[in-house]
Structure 1
Amino acid sequence: MDVESLKKSGSSRVRCLDAFLVVSIVLLFAAVGVLTVGLFFGTKAETASSPQPYASDVGDKMQNVAYLKPHLRNLENGTMRWTAVSRGAGNSVGSLFDFNPDHHSIRTTRDGQYFIYIELKLNCSTTPVCDAGRFTVSIGDSRDSRDSRLTCNFELPEWKETTPVYRKCWQVTRMDKEMRLVTQMTAQQQLNKWTIDVAASEQGIYLVG
């Protein structure tokens, strides 16, 4: 038996086995790298092509909402005048409502429970004294003067400086479709020295169920 020949043959097999293991490890890392890159770009492509649910949800919710800003600063008896706020290509009145700028009314188009609110900030003008008095805002159906869905009372003190009076009132109420809401202002006496802060005041309604 040739011992030297056996030694050379064994060494050759070990070297072949080592080379095979090295090549296998290299191929394994290469496959993992390719797979990782593929998954990364696949995820990026899916994310880019998928619609964004957040934007859709916001759009759906905005359909249920309408809010208006006062059109005039004066406190006077009669129907309160409102205006819609521009928002992108549309305005602040969602598609579930119909705002009539001529009659300053909001019409509901669906039966349901609605959250309605009004917030007003009243300022004393720069005249020496603003008279004390009571000011009431009532929101109700224009077809029935006795219908009042929300009433907000303001107790106005006598001020000798520009100190604002702020109040927010809200109510959850069931309303039928085709109801037209208008806001009525009532002052017990002349309050022409008090004015509405248009930027800090608004009226809103949204469908809750």
Structure 2
Amino acid sequence: MSPDVESQSSGARSRSRCLDTFLTVSVIALFVMFIFALAVALPFAINIGSEMSALKTRDAEGQKNALGMDAPEAAYKMQNFAYLRATNSELTKGVMDWESILYGKGQSIGSMYSYDKNQRVLNVNKAGSYFMYVQLTFSCTHICPSGQFTTSIYNRDDKKQLTCTVSLPETPGMNGSAPVSRTCWHVITLPDQQSRLIAKTEFSKQTLNHWKLELNDSGFGIFLVDGAA
């Protein structure tokens, strides 16, 4: 009996080690895949946002659009994507204003989204995992104090989904001062078919006089990465 028991015990330990190894390798593989997906998604999202911010109205029929895709392909991609540009260059606390921009024959908001200008809320009409980013660019118009400017994206339960903080240096004047820019991103899960996102701002100081937001280089983008049609 003793040899059988030892053999069974040894076999159990071997299976346990194999299971541990399998689980470890699986976790590492998932992590690598996740990092790879983000590495691919981030340049894609920022590239689309940059293209849109400079895009003018154009007829997409029979020609390539600014993203280098034919019109039907662009329409397919854009249904899962939304891009909103900042509308107020003055740095104020509270809910942030956005606007869609012209894109081909439509707007820079796909069919899965809608933007409520009155409530300043982006409605997301499909559950899933989303890649979301905020790009903020500031310039100094005179003598500017140092400080921090923070934009946070909240869901309908008033929980933060993304926070982007930009450190603004003390600047003696506009001559020779370079713009200050930062892009922040995150992957979030929206479990509900109807979700709402809203952006709010705050400062580290009471005011940030003479700093302004560069509208063409400041925006909010989001696209579906899991569950796309």
Asked whether the two chains share a fold, i.e. TM above 0.5, the reply is: yes
Q: How does 1:162-201 map to 2 (within 5 A)?
A: 162=174, 163=177, 164-175=179-190, 176-189=192-205, 190-201=207-218
Moved over 4 A (4+): none
Letter in 2 for 1:185: T
1:109 aligns with 2:125: yes
| Cα deviations by residue, 1:126-169 (Å, 9 ceiling, x for unpaired) | x2x2011111110011x323x01100011111011332110000
The structural deviation recorded for 1:58 is 1.9
1:140 matched to 2:154? The reply is yes
Shift of 1:75: 0.9
Distance 1:167 1:116, change over 3 A: same
Aligned residue number for residue 36 of structure 2: none
- In 1: Cα distance, 2:71 partner to 2:108 partner: 17
Pair 1:206 & 2:223 matched: yes
Q: Residue 26 of structure 1 corresponds to which residue in structure 2?
A: none
Q: One-letter code of the match for 2:160?
A: S
Q: Note the alpha carbon deviations across 1:66-124, whole angstroms, 9 max, x for none.
A: 00111110111100000110123311010011111111211111110101001011011
Structure 2 segments unaligned to the other structure (5+ residues):
1-68
TM-score by length of structure 1 reads: 0.70
3-state DSSP class of the match of 2:197? strand
Question: RMSD between aligned alpha carbons?
Answer: 1.4
Aligned to 1:50: none
* C-alpha contact (below 8 Å) 1:107/1:177 kept by paired residues: no
Tell me the equivalent position of 1:95. Answer: 111
Residue 90 and residue 55 in structure 1: after superposition, are their counterparts in 2 closer, same or farther (change >3 A)? closer
Instruction: Give the counterpart letter for 2:182 in structure 1.
Output: R
Q: Which of 1 and 2 has greater Rg?
A: 1
Q: Tell me how far apart the structure 2 counterparts of residues 197 and 106 of structure 1 sit (CA, whole Å).
A: 21
Q: What is the CA-CA distance between 1:199 and the residue it aligns to?
A: 1.1
| SS of corresponding position for 2:160 | coil
Matches within 5 A, 1:1-209: 54-125=70-141, 127=142, 129-141=143-155, 143-145=156-158, 147-162=159-174, 163=177, 164-175=179-190, 176-189=192-205, 190-209=207-226
Q: CA offset at residue 57 of structure 1?
A: 2.4
| Residue pair 1:113, 1:173 contacting (<8 A) in 2 also | yes
